[in-house]
Amino acid sequence: MNVLGVDACGKQGWIGIRLMDGAYAGSLVDIRLETLIERAGEVHAVAVDMPLGLVERGWRAADLAARALLGVRRSSVFPIAPRSVWEESHYRAAADYCQELTGNRLSQQAWALKPKLLEARACWLVDERIHEVHPEVSFHSLAGGVSLAYAKKTWRGQNLRRSLLAEAGLVLPDELGEADRVPADDVLDAAVAAWSAHRIALGTAARAPEVPEPDAEGRLVEIRY
């Protein structure tokens, strides 16, 4: 069973980690998500670390559920604004509109996701293999329901995450090929997304929230793990 885990990696575009039957099977890096998925070949599930489903009003229940689950790591989940907010051209207008629809302004950190969020959402709407994941939620599950003590950009945090993946059978080699120049935290995020993709393909993945909301296009707004 082949699956793909994907994370955004700045100007390099997207990094993908491929698994075959749960084991590492290679890395891909591409400026376009659609191209990266095409290059991965026939995969049963694609897990992407990016908000995909959008609601019409209020904050997404998926983000609220994920933040409640993570405890000390809750700040890693940004509340994602309603669909129409992302149609605005400038941050100030988007933040004002978000205030109208949710009661709070959109953060600049969340607004910075816009180009890749819209790119990933466009792929999601036409490819049912694609699912939204969040690395910290996946690592929380991988660690037995415990939030990780160290942040992903720290030395101890990265070693802990790599060890958890290895214990689950996903051993990342020292040489990754295409992903050798990608920051380590993005590699680890893509790898744990692939771990979740494998669970999705097997039908064993959980979801937040347990009862998802519908997206305007009819798909479910959920974070899988």
Burial class (CB in 10 A: 0-12, 13-18, 19+), 175: exposed
Q: Where in the chain is the domain with CATH 3.30.420?
A: 2-53+126-207
pLDDT band at 71 (very low <50, low <70, confident <90, very high): confident
Nearest in space to 37 (alpha carbons), one of 121, 119, 130, 117? 130
pLDDT over 90 (residue 73): no
Q: 153 with 188: CB under 8 angstroms?
A: no
Decide the pairing of beta strands 130-132 and 2-8: unpaired
pLDDT over 90 (residue 216): no
The matching CATH number, chosen from 3.30.420, 1.20.950, 1.10.3470, 3.40.50, for 2-53+126-207 is 3.30.420
pLDDT digits (tens, 9 = 90+) for 98-141: 999 999 999 999 999 999 999 999 999 999 999 999 999 999 99
Burial class (CB in 10 A: 0-12, 13-18, 19+), 8: buried
pLDDT value for 72: 84
The tokens for 106 are 């959109």
